[in-house]
Amino acid sequence: MTHPVMRLVLAAATVLSAAAGASPKVMTWNVGGLPRRALVYAPASAANSKAPLVLAFHGFGDTNDNFQGVELEKAWPQAIVVYPQGLRVLRSGAAMAGWQTEKFGDEDRDLQFVDAMLASLRERYKVDDTRIYATGFSNGAIFTYLLWAERPNVFAAFAAVAARLGNSVLPTVPKPLLQVGGKDDGNIPFALQEHAMETARHVDGVSKGESCGPNCTLYPSANRTPVMTFIHDGGHEWPDWTSQQIAKFFQDHPSGR
C-alpha cells in the first residue's frame, strides 16, 4: 500500500526546491519533558504589527522539513506560518512521526505542545488573536479536528486535507471549516471523510450547498461559520492548488466574521 507521506511528496515535489531556498527560524520547546521543534516563517512586520498565525501539521510518517513544501507562507506572506514536528506514535502497527487523534491520547502531549507554541509565539511576535488558524494533512488533519473540539476559542477557522474524525472527537462550537478530500483516497476512505464533513455541517448549522467553482461546494452560514468543501477525483494527496485556497479561506474568516 502506498504510504500517505509518499503521495504528499509527489504532490509537493514541484515546490520543494523553492522552499529549500527560504530560511525559516527553528524554535524549540521542552513540553512535559519532551523536546519539541517547529519551523517558523514570519514576515518582518510581525515584530511590530499584528499578524495572522497559521499552524500547519504534517501527515503520519512525514517531517516538517518535507511538509513545508506546501508553501503556505508563499500563499499568505503576511502571515506567520508554523510547521511543527510530530513525535513518534504507534498507528496500525507502525511507529512514525505523527499526532494524537483523541482527547487524552498520548497523554495530550500535542495539545500541550500547541499551548506552549502559542504562548512563545505571542511573546516573540505580535500575533493577531482574532486570526489564528490550524490546518493539516491526513493524521495532521485529524489532529486539526481535535483542536476544533478541544481549543475552539483559540482558533478563528480550520482547514483539513484528507481528514476523518478521531473516534471520540466531536466539535461543538461552530467554526468556519474548509475540507479537501479525494474520492480515490486509499488511506482514509472517502466515506470517513464525508462523515467528517457532514459532522462539520451539523455543528455549523448549515445544510444547503451551492457551487463555488470547480469541485467546490459552499455551505453558507447566517452565523458566519460556513463549510467549504473541495472534492477531487484523486487520492491521498495535497493538490497543488490547496495552499492558495486555504490561505484565501483563512483571510476571509477572522474570528467574529
Task: Say yes or no to pLDDT of 111 above 90.
Answer: yes
More confident residue, 9 or 134: 134
Task: Say yes or no to pLDDT of 246 above 70.
Answer: yes
**How confident is the model over 70-79, as a mean pLDDT?**
98
Confidence of residue 7 (pLDDT cuts 50, 70, 90): very low
* Torsion, CA 24, CA 179, CA 171, CA 173, rounded to 10: 90
**How confident is the model over 54-61, as a mean pLDDT?**
97
Q: Can you list the alpha helix ranges (DSSP code H) found in the chain?
A: 4-20, 64-67, 72-75, 109-124, 139-150, 190-204, 242-252
pLDDT of residue 11: 39
Confidence of residue 106 (pLDDT cuts 50, 70, 90): confident
The rounded mean pLDDT for the chain is 91
Summarize pLDDT for 17-47 with one digit per residue, the tens: 333 445 899 999 999 999 999 999 999 999 9
At position 117, the amino acid (one-letter code) is M
Q: Read off the DSSP letter of residue 86.
A: P
pLDDT of residue 256: 72
For 39, 80, 112, 126, the CA distances from 119, given in Å and listed in that order, are 16, 14, 11, 11
Confidence of residue 257 (pLDDT cuts 50, 70, 90): low
pTM attached to this predicted model: 0.91
pLDDT of residue 10: 35
**How confident is the model over 217-240, as a mean pLDDT?**
96
In whole angstroms, what is the distance from residue 14 CA to residue 228 CA?
A: 26
Domains, the chain, in order of start with CATH, read 4-250 (3.40.50.1820)
pLDDT of residue 46: 95
**How confident is the model over 54-65, as a mean pLDDT?**
97
Summarize pLDDT for 157-205 with one digit per residue, the tens: 999 999 999 999 999 999 999 999 999 999 999 999 999 999 999 999 9
For the chain, give the percent of residues with pLDDT over 90.
Answer: 86
Task: Say yes or no to pLDDT of 14 above 60.
Answer: no
